[in-house]
Structure 1
Amino acid sequence: MNIEYTDDPHPRNSYWELWGLPLFDIKDTGAVMFELTEARKTITNAYIRMNAFDAAYGVESCVMSFIVNRPINEPGFYLDRTEGAGRFISYSIKSYAVQKNGEGLRY
């Protein structure tokens, strides 16, 4: 298990910050819940997710991931429309959290 957090939950955002150390070979669920409780106390205004890993195949791969905490005020997303040559129109989803902090200032 490990616990990660971010202010931008966009599906393509793979740069979540790691809370503490990964909890490898932990058999006690109380230790995992203790770390989650401490993360929720410290990081109140962020998205927090838990990831579970399975090393049964000799490879550390994520088998389960879910969000366990959301901020009180979620900034959300907006649809950005771009017009290209001819009648080509493309749309992309952008996060208000990224717009507020600017590129390169978030981490």
Structure 2
Amino acid sequence: MRVTQGTFSYLPDFTDAEISKQIEYCLDNEWPLSVEFTDDPHPRNVYWEMWGLPMFDLKDPAGVLQEVNACREAYPQHYVRLNAYDARLGRQTIALSFIVQRPSEEPGFNLERQESDDRRLRYTTRAYATDKPAGQRYQEG
């Protein structure tokens, strides 16, 4: 199971050189970047943990990639994504967001079906990763 969230999610994982090119594109468009991480990849979990503050003043792709790599090193078995903000419309809008790291094993999701009144069916997705408590979901070993 491969989580498909954000831009480029159907492509193979990017190399650092390819990530740097995307960072450069964002900076050329004057989009500040931020790094986020999580161990709960549910599609409705839009509030991932922030790695530091958004990098409003960074203009060098190498500096942004350094923050990405620091987050990867601190959380080697978490999802890590890069967000670019576009404030031209007077609000913080995400112009680009993509995953730059995944855990070595992505356990996937369970589709739970609930039968309700009048033959109605309701479906819910639950990440298998959430069977374990936060912080222990992608431990190696």
Bin of the TM-score, shorter chain as denominator length: 0.7 to 0.9
Structure 1: gaps (5+ residues): none
Question: In the alignment, is residue 4 of structure 1 matched against residue 29 of structure 2?
Answer: no
Residue 72 of structure 2 is aligned to residue 40 of structure 1: yes
Equivalent position of 1:49 in the other structure: 81
Shift of 1:86: 3.2
Q: Which residue of 2 aligns with 1:92?
A: 124
Following TM superposition, by how much is the alpha carbon of 1:98 offset from its aligned partner in structure 2, in angstroms? 2.1
Q: Which residue number in structure 2 is paired with residue 83 of structure 1?
A: 115
Q: How far does residue 91 in structure 1 lie from its aligned partner after superposition?
A: 1.4
Shift of 1:23: 0.4
Q: RCO higher in 1 or 2 (8 Å CA, sep ≥ 6)?
A: 2
CA–CA separation in structure 2 for the residues paired with 1:99 and 1:83: 23
Higher helix fraction (1 or 2)? 2
**Distance in 1 of aligned mates of 2:131 and 2:117:** 26
TM (norm. structure 1) is 0.87
Structure whose residues are more often strand by fraction: 1
Matched pairs, number: 103
RMSD: 1.5
Find the partner of 2:50 among 12, 18, 29: 18
Q: TM-score, normalised by structure 2?
A: 0.68
